Structure 1
Amino acid sequence: MLSSLIFVLSGAALGVARPGQNVENTKRQSGSCGTYEPAAAVKAPKTNPWAQITPADNAAIWDLLHDPATGLNLTLPSFTTEQTDNYVAFIDTLHTNKSAVLPYVDGNGPQPPKYARVVIFEGGKKVPVSQEYMVGPLPVSSNTTIQKLDYIFNGGKGGTVPFNARFFDVSRDAASEPLLASVMTEVADITQKLFGGAYYGAEDERTDLTFTFDTPVSLDGSQAVRIVMFRYPSEVEFLQPLDFYVILDIPGTDPSKYTLRGIVTNEKFFPTVAKFREAFEAGQIVNEFPQPRDAEWAQLTRKKEMGTRTLEDRLAPQSIELGGKRYKLDAEQNYVEYMGWSFYMSWTRQLGLAIYDIKFKGERIIYELSLQEAAAQYAGNTPKAASTVYHDTHYGFGAQSAVLLEGFDCPFGATMLNVSYPEGRATTVKPQAVCIFEADSGFPLARHRTGGFEPSDGYGFSNLGVVKASALHVRHVATVGNYDYLFDFAFNVDGSLEVSVRASGYLQASPYYKTQGRFGPRIHNSTQGSYHDHVVTFKADFDILDTKNSFQVTSLQTVQQSQPWFPELGSFDQMELHASNLKTESQLNFDPNGQSMYTVTSDKTNAWGEKRGYRIVPGHSNIHLTSSNSPFSRKQSEMSKSHLAVTRVKDTEPYANSWQNVNLPQAPQQDFSKFFDGESIENEDLTVWFNLGMHHFTRSEDIPVTLFTEASSSILFAPQNFFDRAQEGDLQNRRWVETGENMDELSWETYGVPLAGCDVRLREPVSGILPWESVEG
């Protein structure tokens, strides 16, 4: 719907024209800007081999799994499902093997078959487990098989995960609920006095407290521990923690064997309810910093009491595609072309967006660029903060995708794409979850002025060249619990590619204690901002021209040198470049002071005999996990413990992590450290795994939510001798300005791209949140 927000771009250019100035640059194109015109259509070279399974495939898979003849003995999942039942947890798209894809996309090989990834919680077995299966080829036919999905896991048990380490879903929650309710009912009189609330059970009308619990719930699958922290129920409950923890031992499927490990409050541990009550009645338990129930202070709404900024009632500057969209889209195949770039997109329930077959001017740079994991590890001296490690793929980035608000999350006029993922027998469609747009980069790509504009400079004339910088952005946001992650892939017109991630949302806070300052600051009356790491792991499967690449490290070193034309200096410091290839698969960190350059190279050379490659340029906040030996992240978070890692591509190593790994820190299903087995990586097919993120030094400015400006991280892939010269000479969006010898005339070359003048009509959606759709197969 078009609103009344109409902007007219017109009038003269800024500045004063000198006598005799050529004012060709002030001419405007008139008419529509094309802001809401769809991207031009293009036909993808091949059918997208990385596309997700279709709704029809998902429904057929569901029916096949539940067919009694299949022998899986499945129960249809519902809120009444028992943890001792066998039922489908989810269906997703299985990664297509690269060895099968390349003959198809690069030649005349057959299109590789599609397979689904199926997770079944098999609680009804004698030894209950979570088991992964692969189903295919698709579509379902007499040739379709159901096989255990083992080959992508290296932990020793394939796709099998012990029951104690499996996802803590509704059925497991229901099994431990009676014990939790019993303990809390026994102490309800005390919690009423301490916090003005009590928990009698999830369905009890008297309950006016809520709770959360952490991961990992198990260390190696042999035991299970649930650490429960209570809060006030509200939209901002992450910021309203109460100083009350109940720790339950809940191993196996028999709730009669579940027991209370203890209660923690006031930084004290009580192994029994009786011990806790005894301490309370002795006056040893107090609530020194009461948590307010009011939630308005933490909501992301305008706070009138903070006043008003001058002119803030005007719409902020917007990025608008004035000349119309300069990219093309094959919406059916999720294929994009832009200014020499081309790539395919894909979507999965667990990992969200992945980008494939990234080429610039027809030459492949990257085969796959995808999110692998987002780990967060907390610090503190409370049970939850001290033991919390999150792997957000555990909850599914694709399933937690968020609707994007045009004009705020993405510019007005951006191409908004729906995403979908299997949900039971149906397929859930989320509208406007990915946006594509071209934006001004905020700086010129290149500029240089020769000579001077003033006669006193002695030149008498001057030339100025300026090239406009822009990039195509592919963006999506996933809201995983308390955080919104904004992922952005920017394809720059010079052939460089930037990956960035930003985090906003509510802190997972802890109760405030006077003694807890070394774990984070006080950010509200009774709330402490718990320090934590965010480490987001990505996969970049580089194919610089082909699959025969090396990883070169070029170090800037200081050496002693003498030069015969400076005999009086003797030996002095000089800088030298020392380049060598990594020999074997390695994890490595960026050198201090930025004194090393990291490049994926081909043996093919440019016109000057230099090996063609792409450089990996650290951006803002390239970090790795602080703790290397915590019992809660010891082996299941190995991918988070270095800036970079380089391995050979294998079909058996498509993922850095397993979505079920978080509950197996000491016996992981997928052990990333086992990728490094001494194999050569010279002139081989290479994957670079890289980490973005932030050490979250929490602050009072994290209220109400963490801001994207600070919580951001990025990395750049830039041509390094890949071309014979900078990729700007074929861009027309530039100006060449010359001055006459008498400095009384300017002449402008516009290269056929005059400035635009047009009406810009901006629209606001009827509702910022659109309903989900469910598509049956």
Structure 2
Amino acid sequence: MLTRSLAVAFLAAAAPVVARPDISFWKRAMSPTNDTRSCGVYDSAPTVKAPKVNPWAQISPADVTAVWDLVHAPESGLNLTHPDKATLTDNYVYFIDTLHTNKSAVLPYIDGDGPQPAKYARVVIFEGGKEEPVSQEYMVGPLPVTPETSIQKLDYIFNGGKGGAVPFNARYFDGKRSQATDALLTSVMAEINDITIALFGGAYYGSGDKRTNMTAASPTPVSYDGTQAFRTIMFRYPGLSSYLTPIDFYVILDIPGTDPSKYTLRGIVTNERFFATVAEFRAAYDAGEIKNEFPQTRDQTWGLLDLKEDMGVRDLDDRLAPQSIEIGGKRYKVDVEQQYVEFMGWSFYLSFTRTLGLMMFDIKFKGERVMYELSLQEAAAQYAGFQPKAANTVYHDTYYSIGTYSSTLVEGYDCPFGATMLNISFPEGNGTQVHPQALCLYEADSGFPVSRHRTGSGNDYGFSRIGSVKGSALHLRHIATIGNYDYMFNYAFHVDASIEVEVRASGYLQSSPYYKNQSNFGPRIYEGTQGSFHDHILTFKADFDILDTKNSLQVTELKVVNQSQPWFPELGVFEQMELETSVMAEEQQFNWAPNNQKMYCVVSDKTNIWGEKRGYRMVPGKSNVHLSIMNSPFTRDQSTLLKTNLAVTKVHDSEPYANSWQNINLPWAPQQDFGKFFDGESVDGEDLAVWFNLGMHHFTRAEDIPVTLYSEAVSSIVFAPQNFFDRAQDGDLRNRRWVVAEAGEPLAYEDYGVPLADCNVKLEEPVTKILPWDTVY
């Protein structure tokens, strides 16, 4: 999608579709094509040169291809089959990604004269051809590929006891595993298609059979510890909004190992009953015990996000809604090649991986580091209900490679008109896939002044002074559509030196068939559809480096104490507030205090001019929740990171991620056990990371139809300076007004050389060009 805004190849090149081209990874995709401009709204962002080459940048398309060729070479000894020809009992590459660069290698380079760290690729290989089939991760590097490049097992970042290996039963449930189970599912359904047609007007003859008119889908997890495997299959009516048309019919299969001939039926569930065999199910049907009490509709137009004219017309709604535009021109600078941004004192680098999506590094304000890393670690959801789909459904969206689902943004709606629209890319097979305009960068009005006060009163002094300072922030935004949900991730860098992280959820509910006696799991939202209650929990990592790597987590508690004051003897003893300050000694998980009566602040030993330790505090925003269920068998140990609001750990190269992307199928024996991070290490005066959760308890409602609304499905947090400076960071902002009102004199004001804009802004529909999502460059 190419628009009048600056569409640049920030994270990849939007080149013509050719086979494995020799392209520049940072090639500019286009220049704005319409020279009719007003007020700089559509001007390109000014350029800046990054101080260093980005050490966190993705591996290049050339590196992806070279790594692919290297691991497939016979001398590698990996005995790989091309994924297009592979079966369950073959070894084949599942994906290639960028391996994180160790912090210990980056700091000497980014802060001094150390060498630029070497780049490595992360390669996941499904090794079904081994005697004990596993999924194994490898690290390949240094890059670019030379005779010195090696292939080593990537074990050191996992603490579950098996390194980068995951048992076959718990490995990602890809298309090959799905196909292997389809024969059993088809045979089961063949015996009862007459019943499903009578009950639901649908039948399943196999995934590739044109007669099939029910969609089969499976949730996670599919194993507990890798020693077993099962597939819970839900059925829906196919269509654009099939998530909203579930059918009260489930088939559960036991599917351990690589031999499909050993797969068996565990049972069938419908009408809130379990049938262990097809014969039991047919007998109940023949006896008239099975009914479709609330038939599901096949009409899915009510679930589409188009104009619903039957709802009436709102007066004046034919006019364009208010827009946020950069009317004075862009005030941020970009180094496209190094993925580096500067704005009003802020500076930071960007990176991107297929498993985690967007990441930010070396975040500084006025040249002083605040954070080393800010990144998403997991986006999870756990459902509730009394049927197989909802009862045992838990999603970890890194499992589906959340970064690969960042979709094209609609200019003027997802992002303001004139925003800098950027492409993203990630390795796919032996090439690089590009998603155009999947990231936007823009400055926006905060909707309130950053500071404001009126001094004096005309009645008392005959004059008054009003000071008001313009509030704005630079926003970095992308939306990942993972199946049914569109997660909007927004990172705002405010001019007052605070950082706000916000996530919103829209999209289709993964709904359930309506059961009139199960209102405790959610309300009825359509004829045969119930909104399934669930939790959304999203874990982020904030690796604070307040000035350096020697930081502490300071806790300031507001306590209520009894106090007496000699100048008010008549009051006796009364309640008063006071502050009690301490420092967390060891790594731990913890929650926000009731009534927010504790302030958590990452501080340095260095002080400001007043002798106070310089730091940044964490301010809870909207809906700071954690997982509701603490002891579910489906989230027992692999979801420890989701069970508290906050956690603090000492930073280690061996603990870069809170979770493993394949952890979802190992709730009893996780590949990466976040709970093992907390082993008594000190976090006082150490290099520490804070892990925080955003999310929402999704109390489903009729207003989730057709999709959940961003307006209230939102969670946020703010990181604000706490004695980091000597005074508020607004005194040097020229975008302000100082109004002088003298008795009997005309009103006067000072604009500090920033006059109001005098222009006529013309907005036009963007020119669109959608590139195919499966295109590999």
Indicate the TM-score class for this superposition, using the shorter chain for normalisation: over 0.9
What are the within-5 Å matches in structure 2 for residues 227-626 of structure 1? 227-453=232-458, 457-626=459-628
SS in 2 for 1:50: coil
SS in 1 for 2:446: strand
The answer on whether the counterparts of 2:156 and 2:163 sit within 8 Å (CA) in structure 1 is yes
Change (3 A) 1:489 1:115: same
Answering whether residue 650 of structure 2 is matched by residue 648 of structure 1, we say yes
From 63, 66, 75, give the equivalent of 2:72.
Answer: 66
Q: CA deviation at 1:445?
A: 0.6
Structure 1, unmatched stretches of 5+, are 4-29
Amino acid at match of 1:637: S
SS in 1 for 2:675: helix
Separation of aligned partners in 2, 1:2 and 1:528? 40
SS in 1 for 2:197: helix
How many residue pairs end up in the alignment? 745
Amino acid at match of 1:756: A
The answer on whether the counterparts of 1:464 and 1:736 sit within 8 Å (CA) in structure 2 is yes
Amino acid at match of 2:370: I
Q: More displaced, 240-249 or 757-766?
A: 757-766
Separation of aligned partners in 2, 1:143 and 1:651? 23
* 1:760 match: 761
From 89, 95, 114, give the equivalent of 1:84.
Answer: 89
For residues 482-511 of structure 1, the C-alpha deviation after alignment (integer angstroms, 9 at most, x for no partner) is 000000000000000000000000000000
Structure 1 stretches of 4+ moved >6 Å: none
The answer on whether the counterparts of 2:343 and 2:474 sit within 8 Å (CA) in structure 1 is yes
SS in 2 for 1:759: coil
For residues 702-723 of structure 1, the C-alpha deviation after alignment (integer angstroms, 9 at most, x for no partner) is 0000000111000000000000
Separation of aligned partners in 2, 1:763 and 1:641? 47
* 2:640 match: 638
What are the within-5 Å matches in structure 2 for residues 740-751 of structure 1? 740-742=742-744, 744-751=745-752
For residues 282-334 of structure 1, the C-alpha deviation after alignment (integer angstroms, 9 at most, x for no partner) is 00000000000000011111100001111111111101101100000000000
Q: CA deviation at 1:569?
A: 1.4
Separation of aligned partners in 2, 1:760 and 1:150? 56
SS in 2 for 1:490: strand
Separation of aligned partners in 2, 1:404 and 1:387? 33
* 2:720 match: 718
SS in 2 for 1:545: coil
Q: CA deviation at 1:775?
A: 5.1
Q: CA deviation at 1:31?
A: 8.3
For residues 145-172 of structure 1, the C-alpha deviation after alignment (integer angstroms, 9 at most, x for no partner) is 0000000000000000000000111110
Separation of aligned partners in 2, 1:508 and 1:250? 24
From 50, 58, 76, give the equivalent of 1:44.
Answer: 50
SS in 2 for 1:756: coil
* 1:23 match: none
Separation of aligned partners in 2, 1:224 and 1:415? 46
Q: CA deviation at 1:774?
A: 4.1
SS in 1 for 2:761: strand
Separation of aligned partners in 1, 2:37 and 2:731? 29
Q: CA deviation at 1:767?
A: 3.1
Change (3 A) 1:280 1:531: same
The answer on whether the counterparts of 2:428 and 2:776 sit within 8 Å (CA) in structure 1 is no
Separation of aligned partners in 2, 1:766 and 1:468? 33
The answer on whether the counterparts of 1:218 and 1:225 sit within 8 Å (CA) in structure 2 is yes
Q: CA deviation at 1:629?
A: 0.6
* 2:9 match: none
From 105, 108, 111, give the equivalent of 2:113.
Answer: 108
For residues 11-38 of structure 1, the C-alpha deviation after alignment (integer angstroms, 9 at most, x for no partner) is xxxxxxxxxxxxxxxxxxx983111111
Structure 2, unmatched stretches of 5+, are 5-35
Q: CA deviation at 1:771?
A: 3.3
SS in 1 for 2:655: coil
* 1:96 match: 101
Separation of aligned partners in 2, 1:761 and 1:329? 25
Q: CA deviation at 1:563?
A: 1.2
Q: CA RMSD in A?
A: 1.2
Q: CA deviation at 1:461?
A: 1.2
Separation of aligned partners in 2, 1:186 and 1:203? 18
Separation of aligned partners in 2, 1:661 and 1:63? 29
Q: CA deviation at 1:2?
A: 8.7
Q: CA deviation at 1:741?
A: 2.5
SS in 2 for 1:238: helix
* 1:225 match: 230
Separation of aligned partners in 2, 1:603 and 1:198? 68
Instruction: Percent identity, please.
Output: 70
Amino acid at match of 1:322: I
What are the within-5 Å matches in structure 2 for residues 731-742 of structure 1? 731-742=733-744
Amino acid at match of 1:711: A
Higher relative contact order (CA 8 A, sep 6+): 1
Change (3 A) 1:348 1:109: same
Q: CA deviation at 1:268?
A: 0.3
Separation of aligned partners in 2, 1:327 and 1:136? 35
For residues 222-272 of structure 1, the C-alpha deviation after alignment (integer angstroms, 9 at most, x for no partner) is 000100011100011111000000000000000111000000000000000
When normalised by structure 2's length, the TM-score is 0.95
Answering whether residue 63 of structure 2 is matched by residue 57 of structure 1, we say yes
